[in-house]
């Protein structure tokens, strides 16, 4: 039977962003990562409209984590004291396409480490692995403004993704990221209007929109994922409608959020299955759910979840390229 | 899609007789399109026009029910492609398969394992709602016998999965009073399967490899007298299936293409439990009314069921928790007391961080009509009076000996007034509740 055509004529598309600088490009990375480029909603239209394949960025903490559950520590127990070895393990054993250094330990309440420490971690990781890096502050404005510009400088020319800047704290990091040739993460608290506002603010400082990746904030499965889900769908629709201030690829923080959930970290939960299975499952489920709404870079932690999600992405995105 | 005024005008007598009270048939048609008039106001309209207009007014996606009693499930009647446009209406029915190659205790164990996939989350019961019996044995007699065993040992709505009309007829006759969903009819078996569905009063799955074939098939089944149809796309891979599902949804809802205006069922059989859960979640988000997996792992079901719960939440209505005092761990008369709002997301985040502190505590939930701390404060729903009222109403003073109240850092500004209103000592907690474990350990140990 002939079936009517579903034709959507979208004026816009998601920006294509290539992270990481190789030798030819003035950096030391062996590989680059390109994300974005979608010309339709997820699974809308034809497979060619889907754009680039989403990627997983695996988290490496600058300091030994203090509050990780055993199930999450286990795969990293031999490298947990060394960010460089940790990053190497993620790339070589778990196939990470990107590494996200999360500078948790610089937070005044979580170690209060100084800029020298953060710079050394950045340099060590840059030497240890050759994939593109994400450099992510601790969320304390004052400390991030002290430390992250130096981190940016230590990775100058490597085309890292650095952040996150917010509506209330964007100036110093935006300026230094621009100067050092990095890409910028703009963050909003699950509020699409603020998301647009931060992009406008960064853009007003002369930061090119094509070098921005948005972070809408992430809710884990069972803990507000529906808000993140709908905001990602609306961001994609805004990009397709031609809104240049919303046409950035999206990053989400699945690892941290999923492992905060009771379902992931509770040791003993009769009827819920073993803790060793539950944590990776919660992370997998959070990531796959957000992929349906339209995200481009997923920060993750457990290698088993990473493997399942990468396999899912391969099946769904790569099978037609 | 509703008919336009001009579409309706073409169906009217075009006599401009004014009996409806309007000056012309065109004016009447416009009024009908805007739902300002009823078709009955026109005494001369033909039966054909009545049928066409009634059909256009029908919901674009059919409702289908299967199973009986408390375990009956309902799928379909969706109205949008994106949940923020309105909401998703019928939460995906999740279930697991049971092979008819199993016999005796093995069969019973598998049925029990499916039955046991029940959980409680944020005060709501969620669980597997369907069991799919698969005719792997190839024998009609074995299939019918296993169907009777499933029915005798499970309350869940049943799905009978076989390509064989002989096996389907035998099994459906055995368990028809449970109103199982019959899966499936193909273009080759459509007539025979439709006959079985009709004879037993069961809904039927139409299964085809392409959207075009599926449209043909559903029309064929409908013509044979079966109205309750569920669609299955046997696409070549998960990727193609997800694209096909999106197209079917758009055709059914945006184009009101009736041959595809039915709910979808998906079967996930490939990969380990983790991989199946990932595929299942994508198929839940992308428009499946029913998803059947081939595993019974509780950890995977808890995640899939939570995904259904979240994706099918009404985006217009904030989910709320009951305002009362919640005990975290086993608090006693010396335990800390804090308050937060009844927006479920706020509450469960606070709860999770208080749990992480391993310090038994009381959390008072103030009724702020489902808003977060800052929103409630700005809207004057969270102030010294609402907090003091909640404390009095829930009798917190009888639960602890001390008179210290920890308040969210974001509303530090209300400290003075709150101390006056309650005579409790106010302690300002952190702004972000992720800092609560550290805060509690410092101030309360």
Averaged pLDDT, B62-67: 96
Cross-chain Cβ contact B345/A227 below 8 Å:
yes
Please check whether the two domains, B5-57 and B63-312, share a CATH topology: no
Q: Tell me which residue has tokens 């205006």.
A: B261
Cβ contact (<8 Å) for A223 and B246?
no
The domain A17-320 is placed in CATH, from the list 1.10.443.10, 1.20.1250.20, 1.25.40.10, 3.20.20.20, at 3.20.20.20
Lowest mean pLDDT among A10-14, A144-148, B11-15: B11-15
Smallest Cβ distance to A43: which of B246, B259, B281?
Answer: B246
Over residues A194-209, the mean pLDDT reads: 97
The SS3 assignment for B217 reads helix
pLDDT at residue B122, as a whole number: 77
What does the alpha-carbon distance between residue B322 and residue B343 come to, in Å, rounded to a whole number? Answer: 9
pLDDT exceeds cutoff 70 at B302: yes
Which among A50, A192, A229, A294 is the top mutation candidate for probing chain B, defined by the most B β-carbons within 10 Å of its own β-carbon?
A229
Structural domain boundaries in chain A:
17-320
Contact B82 A272 (CB under 8 A): no
* CATH architecture for the domain at B325-444: 3-Layer(aba) Sandwich (3.40)
* A178 CB-side CA count, 13 A: 15
**Is the domain covering B5-57 a CATH 1.10.15.40 domain?**
yes
HSE at residue A112, side-chain half, CA atoms within 13 A, is: 2
Chain A residues with CB-CB distance to B435 below 8 A: 109
For residue A208, give how far its alpha carbon lies from the nearest alpha carbon of chain B (Å). Answer: 30
pLDDT tens per residue across span B95-123:
999 999 999 999 999 999 999 999 988 77
Q: Which of A260, A263, A289 sits opposite B281 (nearest CB)?
A: A289
Q: A192, A266, A278, A315: best mutation site toward chain B, by most B Cβ within 10 Å? A: A315
Residue by residue, what is the 3-state secondary structure of chain A? Answer: CCCCCCCCCCCCCCCEEEECCEHHHCCCECCCEEEECCCCCCCCCCHHHHCCCCEEEEEEECCCCCCCCHHHHHHHCCCCCCHHHHHHHHHHCCCCCEEEEECHHHCCCCCCCCHHHHHHHHHHHHHHCCCCEEEECCCCHHHHHHHHHHHHHHCCCCCCEEEEEECCECHHHHHHHHHCCCEEEEECCCCHHHHHHHHHHHHHCCCCHHHEEEECCCCECCEEHHHHHHHHHHHHHHHHCCCHHHCCCEEEEHHHHHHHCHHHHCCCCCCCCCHHHHHHHHHHHHHHHHHHHCCCEEEECCHHHHHHHHHHHHHHCHHHC
What letter would DSSP give residue B320? B
Q: Which CATH superfamily is domain B63-312 in?
A: Dihydropteroate synthase-like (3.20.20.20)
Question: Worst-scoring range by mean pLDDT, B8-12, B191-195, B288-292?
Answer: B8-12
Q: Which residues contact B297 (CB under 8 A, 6 or more apart)?
A: A273, A277, B273
What is the pLDDT at residue B77? Answer: 93
> B112-131 burial string, b = 16+ CB within 10 Å, else e?
ebbbebebeeeeeebbbbbb
- Distance in Å, alpha carbon of B12 to nearest chain A alpha carbon: 26
Mean pLDDT of the region B291-302: 98
Domain boundary assignment for chain B: 5-57, 63-312, 325-444
- Mean per-residue pLDDT, A116-136: 98
Is the pLDDT score of A251 beyond 80?
Answer: yes
* pLDDT exceeds 60 at position B1: no
pLDDT digits (tens, 9 = 90+) for B330-348: 999 999 999 999 998 889 8
Strands B124-127, B118-121: pairing kind? antiparallel
CA of B323, closest CA in chain A: separation in Å?
19
Which residue among B219, B277, B355 sits closest to A285, beta carbon to beta carbon?
B277
pLDDT greater than 70 at residue A319: no
- Residues in B closer than 8 angstroms to A285, CB to CB, are 277-278, 281, 303-304, 306-307
The two tokens of residue B355 are: 């749990």
pTM for the complete prediction? 0.89
Chain B residues within an 8 Å CB radius of A317: 239
User: In the predicted model, is pLDDT for residue A321 greater than 60?
Assistant: no
Q: What is the pLDDT of residues B170-214, one digit of tens each?
A: 999 999 999 999 999 999 999 999 999 999 999 999 999 999 999
Contact: B239, A67; criterion CB under 8 Å: no
């Amino acid at each position: 039977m002939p079936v009517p055509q579903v034709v959507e004529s979208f004026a816009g598309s998601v920006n294509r962003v290539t992270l990481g600088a190789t030798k030819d490009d003035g950096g030391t990375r062996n590989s680059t990562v390109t994300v974005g480029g979608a010309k339709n909603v997820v699974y809308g239209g034809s497979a060619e409209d889907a754009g680039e394949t989403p990627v997983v960025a695996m988290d490496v903490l600058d300091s030994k984590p203090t509050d990780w559950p055993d199930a999450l520590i286990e795969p990293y127990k031999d490298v947990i004291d060394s960010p460089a070895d940790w990053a190497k393990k993620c790339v070589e054993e778990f196939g990470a396409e990107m590494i996200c250094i999360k500078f948790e330990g610089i937070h005044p309440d979580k170690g209060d480490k100084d800029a020298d420490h953060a710079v050394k971690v950045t340099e060590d990781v840059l030497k240890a692995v050759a994939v593109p890096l994400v450099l992510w502050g601790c969320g304390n404005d004052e400390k991030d403004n002290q430390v992250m510009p130096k981190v940016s400088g230590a990775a100058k020319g490597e085309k890292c993704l650095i952040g996150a800047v917010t509506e209330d704290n964007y100036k110093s990091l935006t300026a230094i990221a621009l100067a050092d040739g990095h890409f910028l993460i703009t963050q909003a608290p699950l509020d699409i209007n603020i998301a647009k506002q931060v992009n406008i603010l960064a853009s007003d400082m002369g930061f090119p929109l094509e070098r921005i990746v948005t972070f809408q904030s992430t809710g884990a499965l069972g803990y507000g994922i529906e808000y993140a889900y709908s905001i990602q769908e609306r961001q994609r629709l805004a990009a397709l409608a031609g809104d240049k201030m919303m046409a950035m690829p999206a990053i989400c923080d699945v690892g941290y959020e999923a492992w905060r959930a009771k379902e992931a970290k509770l040791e003993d939960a009769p009827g819920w299955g073993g803790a060793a299975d539950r944590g990776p499952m919660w992370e997998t489920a959070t990531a796959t759910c957000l992929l349906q709404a339209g995200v481009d870079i997923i920060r993750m932690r457990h290698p088993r979840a990473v493997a399942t999600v990468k396999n899912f992405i391969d099946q769904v995105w790569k099978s037609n390229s | 899609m509703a008919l336009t005024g001009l579409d309706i005008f073409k169906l009217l007598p075009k006599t401009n007789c004014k009996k409806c009270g309007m000056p012309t048939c065109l004016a009447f048609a416009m009024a009908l399109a805007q739902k300002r008039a009823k078709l009955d106001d026109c005494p001369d309209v033909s039966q054909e026009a009545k049928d066409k207009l009634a059909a256009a007014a029908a919901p674009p996606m059919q409702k289908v029910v299967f199973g009986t009693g408390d375990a009956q499930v309902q799928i379909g009647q969706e109205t949008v492609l994106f949940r923020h446009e309105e909401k998703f209406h019928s939460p995906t029915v999740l279930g697991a398969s049971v092979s008819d190659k199993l016999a005796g205790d093995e069969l019973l164990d598998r049925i029990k394992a499916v039955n046991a996939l029940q959980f409680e989350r944020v005060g709501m019961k969620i669980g597997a709602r369907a069991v799919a019996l698969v005719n792997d044995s190839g024998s009609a007699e074995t299939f019918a016998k296993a169907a009777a065993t499933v029915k005798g040992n499970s309350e869940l709505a049943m799905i009978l999965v076989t390509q064989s009309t002989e096996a389907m007829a035998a099994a459906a006759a055995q368990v028809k009073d449970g109103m199982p969903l019959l899966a499936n009819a193909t273009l080759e078996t459509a007539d025979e399967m439709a006959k079985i569905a009709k004879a037993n009063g069961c809904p039927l799955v139409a299964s085809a490899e392409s959207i075009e074939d599926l449209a043909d098939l559903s029309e064929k089944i409908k013509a044979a007298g079966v109205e309750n149809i569920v669609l299955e796309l046997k696409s070549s891979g998960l990727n193609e299936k997800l694209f096909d599902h999106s197209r079917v949804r758009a055709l059914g809802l945006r184009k009101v293409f009736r041959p595809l205006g039915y709910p979808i069922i998906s079967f996930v059989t490939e990969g380990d439990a983790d991989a199946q859960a990932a595929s299942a979640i994508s198929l839940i988000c992308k428009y499946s009314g029913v998803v059947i997996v081939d595993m019974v792992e509780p950890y995977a079901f808890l995640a899939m069921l939570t995904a259904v719960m979240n994706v099918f939440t009404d985006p217009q209505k904030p989910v709320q928790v009951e305002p009362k005092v919640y005990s975290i761990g086993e608090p006693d008369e010396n335990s800390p007391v804090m308050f937060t709002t009844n927006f479920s997301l706020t509450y469960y985040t606070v709860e999770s961080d208080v749990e992480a502190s391993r310090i038994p505590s009381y959390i008072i939930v103030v009724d702020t009509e489902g808003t977060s701390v800052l929103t409630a404060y700005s809207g004057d729903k969270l102030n010294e009076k609402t907090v003091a009222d909640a404390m009095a109403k829930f009798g917190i003073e009888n639960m602890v000996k001390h008179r210290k109240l920890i308040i969210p850092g974001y509303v530090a500004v209300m400290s003075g007034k709150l101390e006056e209103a309650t005579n409790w000592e106010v302690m300002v907690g952190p702004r972000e509740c992720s800092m609560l474990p550290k805060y509690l350990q410092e101030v309360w140990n």
